[in-house]
Structure 1
Amino acid sequence: SRIRVFDLAGRHERDVQLPAIGSAGGFGGRRTDRETFYSFTNFTTPGAIYRYDIATGESHLFRAPNVAFDPADYVTRQVFCTSRDGTRVPLFITHRRDLGDGPHPTILYGYGGFNISLTPGFSVANLVWLERGGVYVVANLRGGGEYGRQWHEAGMKDRKQNVFDDFISAAEYLIEQRIAAPSTLAIRGGSNGGLLVGAAMTQRPELFAAAIPAVGVMDMLRYHKFTIGWAWVSEYGSSDDAAEFANLMKYSPLHNLRAGTCYPATMVTTADHDDRVVPAHSFKFAAALQAAHTGDPPALIRIETKAGHGAGTPVSKRIDAATDELGFLTRELGRGKE
């Protein structure tokens, strides 16, 4: 986040100096208040509360949770890679401060759609990955809301390939910088991000060691015929339109699996009561992947029972899912160091 302070006439007074790269929110209060409070979090900092002195512009820690690790042991930096058409795409890269030379086991995460911005936030599962010497990377792709309306529209409909190009370029950057290697790089995304992972692994299977497309939209020719899918036509287009059919066919993960291809080790995940992205997407993709795939890497599907698209999932099920995914990634990316 970047927080700017203006007076009532609209003149810029100062920027709030945040503790580190991260996400801030709050700053509520009355006009006469001499102080206000804001929350701050990032990839290695659970939500903390800071007191902000309006007169001096200084921030001081007010409340922070007691945790069994030191956030100072980790570092996050923002870098930019160059996409296929020359667009600069930002990445957040987080790892242990004492991490040595690479390549390292790395998770590349993305979404790239529906005007949704990916901002730094804390996750226990991601911290476990970092503690074990892994690298966690978030790519802010076109289609998201990070840079406003034009950034979103650059990843919609017939421009959706830009999103996949951005993600693939991020992977290539990590490999070029020796942060990761094709044998140590995994990709993950959920929902629209599951589509992203499915498209990336079918377009560039040799680039990744593992993939986790979670509750993904995999059948782009029929997605609008199931539950709420019709509401996404403004984002993706519809196969009922001849021109849009041709574009969707080019990247639909289900329809771009090629027989005799060695794909990355894959764990497709879904839930039996998902009425947002119906599990048929994952069922069909997993079956088609298993039929087309050659080589040793496994092609698996994990089906959560009595669960939906993710919201409201109890902690016990979240722990089980994170355990399975981290175990899968540790096993598959560990092969790159054998």
Structure 2
Amino acid sequence: MDPKVFPTTRDAQCGMRSPTQRNLDFSAIDGLLSGVFGVNVSDVGELSGGGFAAVWRARLTDGRDVVVKIGPPPGARLLRYERDLIAAEAAYFRTVRAGAPGVPVPEVLHVADDWIVTTMLPGRSLSEPADGGGTSGTAGVREQLGTAIAGLHRITGPHFGYTGDRAAGVDWPAAYGAIIADLLADAADWAVPLPPGIDALAARHHANLARVTRPALLHFDLWDGNVLAAEGRLTGLVDGERFLWGDPLLDLVSPALFHRIEEEPEHPFLRGYTAATGLVLDDAARTRLALYRVHLYTLMLAEGPSRGIPVGRERHDYLTVLLEGELRDLK
């Protein structure tokens, strides 16, 4: 996240609470957890950073620290791919813990239709200032993150795309096309203007996208707020609800948010990932990275109104310029 443009999160609330986030308090959290764990809550606090669900830390009277994530209120308007994200998060954490046990993700303690409880991992997010101020000195953690994500990518899924009844496909070109089509439909529903030509990308680059023949486990949302660290080591990878199955290169976009990681060969995430995988960013890979930045910028534009961010503000203009640049270069 570029702090000069969006000072808080990928969802960039501009000081406002997102309509998708419920308003909760101590009694609400205590009521949820006491019914599940049979003990009361002694202390709670809302965790900042995200702009979709309400996330709280809670200490139980038996000494355990847990994290409670509660999905949007009934009737909240969501993007098409945001259906059933609480269940998706539970599935993601369980998949990672089973298939890549060396990657630090929370343990799922309880999951219901619209809320989940997990263990609380140590550390603080890379988007938070360190004790001495600033966010410098994180290169080692980012390199460790690249290595960890390489481990996740060794897990193979049953299909391409999202889980449930969300956008998916028999191959990666079909899944990518379905994902983009849903985002364009979301943007139309919310009257979000987008540059022309996005709808033609999947067909135009079908052969390149078809190079991806194995659906790898993807986190997708690897911005700094979802990466925890303590004392120079990676301690947690959280907010896995937006996971999908597809091209590993998709996960190289958000760690270098608003930048082109292929133009930064010494980027610590890329260094760690390349050391673990032997990745070579040839012309085909660079083109797919551009396609995945189009995906991310289109998503961020389409989601704005659902987060209470009006169209036409600085955020929209900035993302539009980035999106137009990727579309122009893809021609």
TM normalised by structure 1 equals: 0.28
Which one scores higher on RCO, CA 8 angstroms, separation ≥ 6? Answer: 2
Greater gyration radius = 1
